[in-house]
Amino acid sequence: MTEKILVKDLVKQDPGSALVYLYEFEYAKDTFAYFADGLDANLGEVTMLDYKDNSQTNTYAVIPVQVTGFDRTAATKYPNPTITIANVLSVFKLAVGSVNYEELSGMRVIRRTTLRKYLKSEGDSNSPPIEYPRDVYYIDALKARTKVGLEFSLKAPFDLEGTKLPARTTVPNRCPWIYQGASEHTENPEWKRARSGCTWHVESKYNAFYNSTVSEQNVEYTVYVNQDDEYLIPSTVSTQLYSGLSGGTSIAKGDYLRTTSTADRFNVDGTITEGVTVNNFWQAKSANTATNLGTPSDTNTNYARIRTYTTYSHGTDYFAYSDDRYNDYVVFQDNTSPVGAFTYQKTLMWKAKKPSKNVPPAHGDKWERGDLCSKTLEGCGRRFGFNPKTASSASTQGHDDFSTTVVIPFGGFPGAKAFN
């Protein structure tokens, strides 16, 4: 809607106002400094409603800004602009504080474009603000630093793919490597393992060699995490029904609780049973009374959702649900695939895709891997940063607060920005 108003202005012989460019420099996570280019000699400090929060007003300090390369042409798939900021030791320096300019690499630079008459400081009260689509870029490098100013080279989020780091290719947000592709416990030949950087054990075994927070680093744990970054624990682990607790009952960090809800169940015979009671499983992230921690839910930060699994049993009915997150999870040692198959003699985690009976995992379309990676830092951290409840026990479960300081053995992610 706001863009249409601008288009109507610009098709007139005289739009009645000059174009204004506003720049937002991220110098810490979600923390910005605000500048206007100051090309109009009569333009002083200006204000504009925030793009995301229209109740917030941002003040843009006027500073000499020179940009090149923003224009899009048929010859380039996406611009790679540069931006030069003058007045470094005064306005810009005061705005970003003590931040080292070299450390701005990877931070966002947002250019907003509007007509001067639509600035809040010019009396415009439209909410949301009237402006063109924003240009969002990331600082690729500090290209030059002189007495006159700073020159940064910028990259578009979707143009980072193909940028080379030592022996790796950069992509935004998602890990590009094949999950478990470089695991030494797979039968993949060396040339095939070399195509991946993910060394996570094929059977989700974890030796805490890389985790400095685990004292028992010679113990091999089994750590299952699903694609929603939820830990999976055996169904035999004791859980408490939250509704059965009194308000003063003490809950320890790491305790498991359950609540109930309903979902429609898809049965093996093709029928649907509506409104079946299903369990939601939770792990307490801190210690307190039941009243103080509150009822477990996805929005209650005192708990983390987990899932449970059983060992596959031939002849047992396995179900799928209208919400597939409730579908059955099982572990299964595959002794039915041909020798040499990826799953042969491996104990893997599986999730039901469709209801089945007498169809073992790894066969047909009834099952899918239940421990696939989300390809985010969260998923990687929950595996390699596993925080065992009992460090000396190989069968222990883990706490939800995994280590965020662990060194990912294969170097982590080539690109891990959450791009807007």
Secondary structure class of 110 (helix, strand, coil): strand
Asked whether residue 169 is assigned to any structural domain, the reply reads no
The mean per-residue pLDDT over the stretch 357-376 comes to 88
Query: pLDDT-based confidence at 418, cuts 50/70/90?
Result: very low
Asked whether residue 404 is assigned to any structural domain, the reply reads no
pLDDT tens track for 256-269: 999 999 999 999 99
> Which residues are CB-neighbours of 179 under 8 A, at least 6 positions away?
196, 198, 200, 372, 373, 375
**pLDDT at 19 (0 to 100):** 85
> Do 251 and 133 belong to one domain?
no
> Do 114 and 241 belong to one domain?
no
CA 52 to CA 292: how far, in whole Å? 33
Asked whether residue 99 is assigned to any structural domain, the reply reads yes
> Do 217 and 80 belong to one domain?
no
Q: Structural domain of residue 268, as residue ranges?
A: 190-399
> Do 64 and 195 belong to one domain?
no
The mean per-residue pLDDT over the stretch 360-377 comes to 87
**pLDDT at 290 (0 to 100):** 95
> Do 201 and 302 belong to one domain?
yes
For the chain, the farthest-separated pair of C-alpha atoms sits apart, in whole angstroms, at 81
Q: Residue 389: which of 404, 403, 400, 405 has the closest Cα?
A: 400
**DSSP state letters, 324-380:** GGGS-EEEEE--SSPTTSTTTT-EEEEEESS-BSS--TTSTTSEEESS---SSHHHH
pLDDT at 81 over 70: yes
pLDDT at 417 over 50: no
**pLDDT at 5 (0 to 100):** 66
> Do 238 and 353 belong to one domain?
yes
Query: pLDDT-based confidence at 293, cuts 50/70/90?
Result: very high
Of 110, 143, 159, which one is at a domain's C-terminal end? 159
Asked whether residue 122 is assigned to any structural domain, the reply reads yes
The mean per-residue pLDDT over the stretch 134-142 comes to 83
Of 138, 159, 180, which one is at a domain's C-terminal end? 159
The answer to whether the CB of 266 falls within 8 A of the CB of 312 is no
The mean per-residue pLDDT over the stretch 348-374 comes to 91
Q: Bigger pLDDT: 146 or 229?
A: 229
To the nearest whole percent, how much of the chain has pLDDT over 70? 79
pLDDT at 419 over 50: no
- Looking at 30-34, 264-268, 341-345, which range is the least confident one? 341-345
**pLDDT at 330 (0 to 100):** 97
CA 80 to CA 71: how far, in whole Å? 9
Asked whether residue 371 is assigned to any structural domain, the reply reads yes
> Do 155 and 197 belong to one domain?
no
Helix (H) or strand (E) holding 311: strand 303-311
> Do 122 and 209 belong to one domain?
no
Phi–psi pair at 36, nearest 5 degrees: -115, 155
Asked whether residue 411 is assigned to any structural domain, the reply reads no
> Do 251 and 294 belong to one domain?
yes
Mean pLDDT of the chain: 82
Asked whether residue 237 is assigned to any structural domain, the reply reads yes
The mean per-residue pLDDT over the stretch 95-111 comes to 75
**pLDDT at 399 (0 to 100):** 92
Asked whether residue 174 is assigned to any structural domain, the reply reads no
pLDDT tens track for 40-73: 555 568 899 999 888 899 999 888 888 888 776 6
CA 316 to CA 100: how far, in whole Å? 61
Query: Tokens 């921690």 map to which residue?
Result: 293
Number of domains in the chain: 2
> Do 129 and 267 belong to one domain?
no
Of 107, 136, 159, which one is at a domain's C-terminal end? 159
> Do 233 and 345 belong to one domain?
yes
- Looking at 89-98, 135-144, 363-372, 395-404, which range is the least confident one? 89-98
Query: pLDDT-based confidence at 416, cuts 50/70/90?
Result: very low
> Do 109 and 229 belong to one domain?
no
